[in-house]
Amino acid sequence: MLLKSRHLLLPYAGRMRAWALWRRLDAPGHDACRLDDDGTGWRLHGTAVYGDNGVPARLDYEVACSDTWVTRDGRVHGWLGARAVELAIRRSPAGAWTLNGVAVPGLDECVDLDLGFTPATNALQIRRVALGKGQAMDVPVAWLDVATRKVAIDYRPVHTYTMTNDVQYVEPKARVY
């Protein structure tokens, strides 16, 4: 997914409050989100509007994390074409994951939720692992595929270069109507 982004970090009661706006460069779509201190940890909430294999999608999302950026739960609701989407993902303090109340085995080593349709959840992983300059690592994540309504383990590379304001510009292609 190629993105062009804008973001802002604002001081908020001694803790960060941020927003971001992305425009996809590889397909039609955009995403807007906010990251707020909710008094017990962090809450990321936003909306993604995009095309998924020719099908329009509008998904609202929310992910709650502890003060140490460990995922507590997430929600996604909206639609993919004519299909309604209503998903609730939870991680217990012991590390057990559920999707709409049903246990999802094999995710015990995951502490991060990655919503596959938005880059916003990558920020939570980046904050949690807190890499130093020049460091990189692969992070096991509980990855949600909204189209299939499944959560599976995946390993996402986290690099310190994602913490910069550098944006890779990709020349747009001419549209044919």
3-class SS letters over 90-126: EECCCCCEEECCEEECCCCCCCEEEECCCCCCHHHHH
Residue 16 in 3-state DSSP? strand
Confidence band (pLDDT; 50, 70, 90) for 107?
confident
Instruction: Assess if residue 177 is contained within a domain.
Output: no
In this structure, the strands spanning 112-115 and 136-145 are parallel
Structure token digits, residue 26: 């590889």
Q: Establish if 36 belongs to a structural domain.
A: yes
Q: What is the pLDDT of residues 109-164, one digit of tens each?
A: 899 999 989 989 988 988 888 877 777 777 888 888 887 877 766 656 554 444 44
- Tokens 């990855």, located at residue: 143
Assigned domain for 29 exists: yes
Instruction: Look at the block and give the residue holding tokens 């609202």.
Output: 60
- So what's the pLDDT on residue 11? 45
Domain membership of residue 47 as a residue range? 3-160
* Any domain includes 173: no
Closest CA relative to residue 120, chosen from 33, 11, 52: 33
Q: Based on the structure, what is the number of domains in the chain?
A: 1
Whether residue 79 is contained in a domain is answered as: yes
Q: Which of 16, 59, 56 shows the shortest CA–CA distance to 34?
A: 16
On average, the pLDDT of the chain sits at: 80
In terms of DSSP H, where are the helices of the chain? Answer: 122-129
